[in-house]
Amino acid sequence: MSKAITIAHVYSDRSDWLQYKTIFNKLQRVTFQLTGRQLRLKCLSEGGSLVSVGVNMELAQALGAGNSFLPTNEPEFSKIHVETAKEIVEYFVQACYTHVKR
């Protein structure tokens, strides 16, 4: 029997980094439930497979991602020694080209 996979798109018009952190945390949990593997960023964690997180120029979205993935940083592996989401996002957040042009 195969597992049914439901993909949901989440849209938000709120500028609340905590809401985005919750979304990214949930993404990490669901990824683990479906695959049995942790969702990790290549630049932060040994064995990571995610290259970057794309954002649409919303600071709250970037900070939410930073707060969610900050605990997955392995400084011994990444050589990234930071303490805040604001500092860590520069290593993996990429802005959408269309939004940058606007």
Q: Is 12 a domain residue? A: no
Please state the pTM of the whole predicted model.
0.80
Q: Is 91 a domain residue? A: yes
> What's the total number of domains in the chain?
1
Residue 102 in this model has a pLDDT that exceeds 60: yes
Q: Is 21 a domain residue? A: yes
pLDDT, tens only, 57-96 = 789 999 999 999 999 999 999 999 999 999 999 999 988 7
Q: Is 43 a domain residue? A: yes
pLDDT of residue 70: 98
Q: Is 28 a domain residue? A: yes
The range of the structural domain enclosing residue 69 comes to 17-101
Q: Is 10 a domain residue? A: no
Mean pLDDT of the chain: 87
DSSP-assigned states of every residue in 38-92: ---BTTTSTT--B--EEE-S-HHHHHHHHHHHGGG--HHHH-----SHHHHGGGT
Q: Is 9 a domain residue? A: no
For residues 7 and 92, which has the higher predicted lDDT (pLDDT)? Answer: 92
Q: Is 8 a domain residue? A: no
